[in-house]
Structure 1
Amino acid sequence: MNKAYQTYKNNSVNTASGGELTLMLYNGCIKFIKQAMKDVEDNDYEAKNRNIQKAQNIIRELLITLDPKVEISKQFQPLYEFMLSELTAANIENSREKLENVLELVTEFRDTWKQVLLQHRKQKFSQRPSI
């Protein structure tokens, strides 16, 4: 069963569009931040550190894939850098509050991105000729 699930996950990543991959990154980041929050509550500092680092790696990936030619990228960059800084501080201070702040931002980014993808799909399918 586990092997089938892993195959499914690999196929979904390998066949996803760039927009869908970005959505997966946001969802993964949210998952790791939530887990780190639980780890703080459980005083599991090793797991907290690991999950925060995973969230930071995702934010770094999102940061390096920004296109500097696109105006909105210039607005996203300082927000991603702020998230990285907050995650570092949350890791050092074991701060659930800082994790919640980042979680709120990432969730907002994810929800907005999801709406962009939905609008794009609607436009794409509405422009198809009917048979």
Structure 2
Amino acid sequence: MINLPYQKYQQTQLQTAPPAQLLLMLYDGAIRFVRIGISGIEEQDYEKANTYLCKAQAVIHELIAALNYDYPIAKTLHRVYEYMVYQLIQANMKKSTVPAKEILSHLQELREAWDTASKSLNNAEQNNE
């Protein structure tokens, strides 16, 4: 049972968001978790780093689960996502920010690309109405 108003708002937002918005929300979460994981490594707070790098991995696994293999790009994205998970594991094991920062950059680029594609699709749909 959800008691806090903000939690109710978040749940409603998730349940009513269009698929493109949900995808962007996943990217936002992964980006946030990687950033916190990097700060954990930098602060030598390895419990924090582990927690948040693992959360980022879980979000990337959700991105993998959301792939639609009817489109050829899905196979490529699957490989990219698997690489991201591998690099986050390496960052966590070696307590190195280098692989995590690389993945942060990739996540930001992909998020921007999906945002642009979503806006283009929305504009095209509006022009057809």
TM-score by length of 1: 0.92
C-alpha RMSD over aligned residues: 1.2
**1:64 to partner: Cα distance:** 2.1
1:57 equivalent in structure 2:
58
1:6 equivalent in structure 2:
7
Deviations along 1:20-79, one digit per CA (max 9) or x if unpaired, are 111100000000000001111111111110101110001111112212221111111111
Q: Does 1:113 align with 2:82?
A: no
Q: Distance in 1 between matches of 2:20 and 2:119?
A: 10
Question: Can you give the 5+ residue segments of structure 2 that lack an aligned partner in the other structure?
Answer: none
Q: Does 1:41 align with 2:42?
A: yes
2:102 equivalent in structure 1:
101
Mapping of residues 116-127 of structure 1, within 5 Å: 116-127=117-128
1:74 equivalent in structure 2:
75
**1:127 to partner: Cα distance:** 1.5
Deviations along 1:95-115, one digit per CA (max 9) or x if unpaired, are 111110000111111000000
2:91 equivalent in structure 1:
90
**1:116 to partner: Cα distance:** 0.8
**1:87 to partner: Cα distance:** 0.4
Question: Can you give the 5+ residue segments of structure 1 that lack an aligned partner in the other structure?
Answer: none
Percent of aligned positions that are identical: 31
Q: Which amino acid aligns with 2:31?
A: I
Q: Distance in 2 between matches of 1:121 and 1:64?
A: 24
Q: Work out the number of aligned pairs and report it.
A: 127
2:26 equivalent in structure 1:
25
